[in-house]
Amino acid sequence: MNGNLLPVIKVKVVVVGDAGVGKTSLAVRFTDNSFIQHYKQTVGGNEFCSRALDFKDKTVVFNIWDTAGQERFRSLVPMYLRDAGIALAVYDISSHNKQYCTILFRNPLRILSWLLQLQQYGPRDLKCALIGNKIDLDDDLREVPTQEGQLLAEGHGLYFEETSAKSGDRIDKVFNDIGIALVERC
């Protein structure tokens, strides 16, 4: 129970995806409502942050585990998937910054390999969402049409949304939607 005397549901949210797609930025935007322009890659294990949202008759505490996207840390992801309730598979809708976004979503192996890893190592009841980030960028920088993400998500039965960690656009919506679905299931 919290201060509002609502029953509390705690859920572990693991954020995965290639380096530089905005996983840390998304977590920081949601939990701290801030944005860091300077890229500081997540190294080694991961970082943890948390925020609670109230729904009609329950409070959901989102415990967010932000993983490192670099290939050399990938073997650590299965460990973080233990006990996870939700996984966000994040990609960058643009390819403008090739220094850290080296391989496009367009190569289906990239995002599919993350989805496969979630399927392989995540708990049986893990709910996965596909998130296309950086929609604040100019249209001419977009490499992945919305429909492409949508179709991929539909094909895998995933929740789908496009976000901007920079502007905050639809970040809260993602967690609201996920929270509502969670509360309905409990």
Binding region for ligand GTP (CB under 6 A): 19-25, 36-37, 39, 41-42, 68-70, 133-134, 136-137, 164-166
CA-wise closest residue to 111 among 26, 38, 16: 16
Nearer CB in complex with ligand GTP: 17/122: 17
Taking residue 139's Cβ as centre, other Cβ atoms within 10 Å add up to 7
* Interstrand relation of 8-16 and 86-92 (parallel, antiparallel or unpaired): parallel
Nearest approach, Cβ of residue 108 and Mg ion (Å)? 23
From Mg ion, ligand GTP, none, which one binds at residue 20 (CB under 5 to 8 Å depending on kind)?
ligand GTP
Which of ligand GTP, Mg ion, none binds 22 (CB below 5-8 Å, type-dependent)? ligand GTP
Interface ranges with Mg ion (CB under 5 A): 23-24, 42
Q: Which residue is nearest to ligand GTP (CB)?
A: 69
User: What phi, psi does 37 have (nearest 5°)?
Assistant: -70, -35
